[in-house]
Every structure is written in structure tokens, then in C-alpha cells.
Amino acid sequence: MQLVCVLERQIFDFLGYQWAPILANFVHIIIVILGLFGTIQYRPRYITGYAVWLVLWVTWNVFVICFYLEAGDLSKETDLILTFNISMHRSWWMENGPGCTVTSVTPAPDWAPEDHRYITVSGCLLEYQYIEVAHSSLQIVLALAGFIYACYVVKCITEEEDSFDFIGGFDSYGYQGPQKTSHLQLQPMYMSK
């Protein structure tokens, strides 16, 4: 579920040319795959790495929520943070949200780059920042569920390793080797020439 949701988010971030979220999503996809591999192969280190990444992933998504809700000094008007200051693109949902009507403004202002169109967006049923906040909130919920699952799986795997019964095992109810009895005495052995 987490992988499907982050792939969907990755597509819309690519459409909006938001490079920081694209990189974060890409790393998240790789870590989720490693976490799944660790679960299937019983590798607690991979699963622990996945759990640690989920803490960072939640932090990133909290930042995105604060960014779009303009908490503190963050402002969604300076969206250049998410594009690494490479482009002037914004969230894909800004123009393509549910019910949004895009109108080109002519003539474009002097400060607008020639290769970009200058538009106004109106009539949206849900503003783009709330769609982005919903995406991040869903990622946080899935990450928390994944973190709990990862901790549980690591606990189960490590308990299973601790209780493994080797041949001749360490358990008191397992195989019992022959016991020394007191009626046996060692006799010297003589060799003849």
C-alpha cells in the first residue's frame, strides 16, 4: 500500500517538476523495497534501516505539511525550495485540481519568463495546498503503520533466532548426551614391544 501511494505521489511530483519531493520519493521507494526484501529474507538489519528511514520520512512529510499550510516563516509562494531553485514550477495540483479553471492572462507581465505562460486559477473545489497536505498526511499514517509493523517483525525475527534449537540444542528438554557414570574407571593402557 505504501509503495503504491508513493508511486502515485512521485508521478504528480514529476508532473510539477518538484525536484526535492522527487528525490525524497525515490529514496523512499528504494527503502520500502529494501524493507520488503528484509521482511521476506528475515534480515532484521534491513527492516531496522527501513524503520529508521520512516522516522526521517515522517519528518519530511511534516515539513511538506507545514510548508503548504505556511507554518512559521515558510511560504508556499516561495515554492523554489521544492524545485531546488532550478525552475519556477509549482504543484501540479495548482492548475489541475478538482474543478479548477485555468485562464491565461494576456498580456503577460514584464517579469514573467517568455517560455512560461501567465495564468490565473479559479473555481477549485479543493485548493492545491490541501491536496498536497492530504498526500503528506496519508504518507505519515502509512509510515506510522509501517514503523509499528517493522518493529513487530524485528522483534519476531530476533526472538526466533534466540529460540533456535541447534542439533544437540541448548534446551533442557532436547537431546541429552550420554552422562558420565561413577562406576566407570579409567584403566592404564600398556603397549607391548
Q: How confident is the model at residue 1 (pLDDT cuts 50, 70, 90)?
A: confident
Element (H, E) at 145: helix 128-162
Average of per-residue pLDDT values in the chain? 80
Tell me the mean pLDDT in the region 30-59. 94
Q: What is the pTM of this model?
A: 0.71
Give 3-9 contacts, CB < 8 A, sequence gap 24+. 3/29, 3/32, 3/33, 3/36, 5/138, 5/139, 5/142, 6/32, 6/139, 9/135, 9/139
Percentage of residues of the chain with pLDDT beyond 70: 72
Whole-angstrom CA distances from 134 to 72, 91, 128, 129, 152 are 19, 13, 10, 9, 27
Per-domain boundaries in the chain = 1-71+81-165
Return all residues near 139 (Cβ < 8 A) that are at least 6 apart.
Answer: 2, 5, 6, 9, 57, 61
DSSP-assigned beta bridge partners for residue 101: 122
C-alpha cell at position 62: 511534516
pLDDT digits (tens, 9 = 90+) for 79-138: 566 665 555 567 777 777 888 887 777 776 666 666 566 667 778 888 888 988 999 999
